């Protein structure tokens, strides 16, 4: 096979775009990627704890230190002496799920109405869960905004189609500039300041994305970024939320500017669900808790709440004998299986670490079908479904359904 040079590839792409009536200048470009093996050296704002790559020993040690630092900040806030036990910790994981994020949003708002929703010491989010997580982190005062995000928005507030022919030569089927504007409208400077105050009080807000160049999951420390006072902090947090929700191929990836060894580079980030649709805490953090228990040391009471923005039972459908139908159904099956496996993984971790497990998910009694992407009627109905169950006291599952 003839090897194509970079110049020849560019000329062929430009020629093909011209034949399809697409402007050659529309082809997306990017800055130089982070060199192989230098992923951990890349910095965005220059903060030592701005993000963690927990697939590496260095990343595991760094996030362990962050959990310890959060506990110390909480002790100072509560006026506790060193070694004095902390009160019960409440952890929340909000999964991906696209339009199904309306379920989790409704559940949280209904739970607030019931009056028993706790303040969460740790909130994690992926994809649509990343859009929910900041509101959940800040508590019921932000329920009106959370409700609006999942009941007032339409597809036009999320994405703009590029058209099939242009998408072939672009980076995605849809442009998510509308979603970035939507995120920016809600996530403003006062909201960032509120996240910073919560972080300084010993609470953590963590969002997952996928570094597609390096093929590694990235956990972003949103509270630390918010509390940094960096002039680019607000824009970065907005872009992290956009990246976490960027379904590869469908939504445009988010390019994150970084510095490596004094040189400007770029990373390509997409939906955190490419690695995991939900996460709670790293294995190394749980291991330290188990070690304390084995030694007979005091371990804090911990309750974990997992909101799975999706169903956990199979969704039957007739699959046509067509390439796109078969491949599309296979992909959706893999995504559903991945989401279920994430719930199993979190459950196993909590059982191993003596952490209370509580699971919410869309039940089979919600049988409305999604008529179109981000259909407002569907999302309002699903929000109300979650809201009613939260308001009357959700019957949290203590183990995943078999």
> pLDDT digits over 122-148, tens only?
999 999 999 999 999 999 999 999 999
Q: 200-210 in b/e burial notation, b at 16+ Cβ within 10 A?
A: bbbbbbbbbbb
Percent with pLDDT over 90 in the chain: 67
pLDDT at res. 11:
35
Beta strands 302-311 and 89-94: pairing type?
parallel
Say what the pLDDT of residue 313 is.
85
Number of other residues whose CB lies within 10 A of the CB of residue 293? 13
Phi, psi of 34 (to 5 degrees): -65, 130
Q: What is the pLDDT of residue 96?
A: 95
Contact (Cβ atoms closer than 8 angstroms) between residue 122 and residue 207:
no
Distance (Å) of CA 48 to CA 202, 211, 224: 17, 18, 10
Which helix H or strand E contains 340, and what residues bound it? helix 323-352
Query: Model confidence over 216-265: pLDDT tens digits?
Result: 999 999 999 999 999 999 999 999 999 999 888 778 889 999 999 999 99
- Tell me the two tokens of residue 222: 């949103």
pTM here is 0.89
Rounded Cα–Cα distance for residues 396 and 374 (Å): 27
Q: Does the pLDDT value for residue 386 go beyond 60?
A: yes
Residue 295 is predicted with a pLDDT of 65
Question: pLDDT grade, residue 20 (50/70/90)?
Answer: very low
* pLDDT score, position 6: 40
pLDDT at 7 (0 to 100) = 38
pLDDT of residue 323: 83
Up-side HSE of residue 231: CA atoms within 13 Å toward CB? 0
pLDDT exceeds cutoff 50 at 152: yes
Is pLDDT above 60 for 10?
no
H-run or E-run covering 10: helix 6-19
CA distances from 59 to 52, 64, 103, 190 (A): 5, 9, 33, 30
Asked whether the beta carbons of 285 and 204 are under 8 A apart, the reply is no
- Angle (deg, nearest 10), helices 57-78 and 283-294: 60
Residue 161 backbone phi and psi in degrees, to 5: -65, 140
Write down the pLDDT at residue 166.
56
Percent of the chain's residues with pLDDT above 70: 87
Task: Give me the mean pLDDT over the 270-280 stretch.
Answer: 93
Over range 344-368, report the average pLDDT.
Answer: 94
Across the chain, mean pLDDT equals 88
**Mean pLDDT, residues 48-55:** 95
- Confirm if 347 and 399 have CB atoms less than 8 A apart: yes
Separation of alpha carbons 123 and 130, rounded Å: 10
Residue 213: the pLDDT is 95
For the segment 2-26, the average pLDDT, to the nearest whole number, is 41
């Amino acid at each position: 096979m003839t090897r194509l040079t970079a110049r020849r590839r560019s000329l062929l792409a430009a020629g093909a775009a011209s034949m399809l009536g697409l402007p050659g200048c529309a082809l997306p470009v990017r800055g130089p990627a982070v060199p192989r093996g230098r992923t951990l050296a890349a910095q965005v704002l220059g903060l030592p704890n701005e993000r963690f790559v927990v697939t590496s020993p260095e990343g595991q040690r760094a996030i362990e230190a962050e959990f310890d630092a959060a506990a110390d900040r909480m002790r100072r806030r509560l006026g506790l002496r060193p070694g004095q036990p902390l009160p019960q910790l409440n952890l929340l994981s909000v999964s991906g799920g696209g339009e199904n994020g309306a379920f989790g949003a409704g559940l949280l708002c209904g739970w607030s109405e019931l009056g028993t929703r706790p303040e969460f010491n740790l909130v994690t989010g992926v994809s649509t869960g990343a859009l929910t997580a900041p509101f959940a982190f800040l508590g019921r005062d932000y329920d009106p905004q959370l409700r609006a995000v999942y009941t007032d928005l339409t597809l036009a507030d999320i994405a703009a189609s590029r058209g099939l022919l242009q998408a072939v030569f672009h980076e995605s089927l849809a442009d998510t500039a509308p979603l970035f504007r939507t995120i920016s409208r809600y996530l403003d400077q006062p909201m960032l300041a509120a996240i910073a105050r919560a972080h300084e009080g010993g609470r953590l807000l963590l969002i997952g994305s996928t570094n597609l160049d390096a093929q590694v999951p990235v956990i972003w420390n949103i509270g630390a970024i918010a509390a940094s006072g960096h002039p680019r902090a607000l824009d970065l947090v907005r872009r992290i939320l956009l990246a976490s929700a960027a379904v590869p191929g469908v939504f445009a990836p988010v390019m994150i500017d970084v510095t490596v060894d004094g040189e400007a580079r770029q990373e390509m980030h997409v939906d955190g669900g490419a690695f995991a649709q939900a996460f709670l805490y790293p294995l190394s953090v749980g291991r330290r808790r188990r070690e304390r228990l084995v030694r007979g040391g005091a371990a804090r009471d911990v309750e974990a709440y997992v909101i799975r923005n999706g169903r956990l039972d199979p969704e039957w459908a007739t699959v046509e004998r067509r390439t796109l139908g078969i491949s599309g159904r296979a992909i959706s099956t893999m995504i559903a299986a991945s989401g279920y496996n994430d719930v199993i993984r979190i459950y196993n971790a909590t059982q191993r670490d003596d952490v209370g497990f509580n699971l919410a998910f869309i039940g089979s009694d919600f049988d409305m079908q999604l008529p179109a992407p981000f259909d407002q009627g569907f999302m309002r109905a699903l929000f109300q479904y979650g809201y009613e169950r939260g308001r009357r006291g959700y019957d949290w599952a203590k183990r995943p359904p078999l």
